[in-house]
Amino acid sequence: MTTIEKTAEQWTAILAQKGAEPGAFEVTRHAGTERAFTGKYEQHWADGSYHCICCGAKLFESATKFDAGCGWPSFSKAIPGAIVDKVDNKYGMRRTENVCAQCGAHLGHVFNDGPIDEQHTTGLRYCMNSASLEFKG
């Protein structure tokens, strides 16, 4: 259950105030997807954390980010309680959609094909849209 609810106009104003990417509203509020290899965080490797662009909730630590070669920022582990999983049966596929636990913003999807090594132990790949994220260093 999301705790932050706003109108489309309010979300649009918040995203504009934050200087969000042009497609951020479509991605976060209508479960859109940015084109692969176009997002500003796909090849971003600074130390810090990634937050929901809509409400500011902390979602991922930069130490969990890895290059999956898929064209979207990928993480092996989310901040506990920050993300809610939803069944997504669109486009003839059964996937697990990730939304922000605080505001319900669409973030991306999680898959079971992530790395397993000393740093990334979950085997998960949280495949996120850059347009749904805000980096804080």
Residues carrying an active site annotation: 127
Q: Helix (H, G, I), strand (E, B), or coil: what is residue 48?
A: coil
Round the CA-based radius of gyration of the chain to a whole number and report it: 14
DSSP state of 118: S
CB 126 within 8 A of CB 18: no
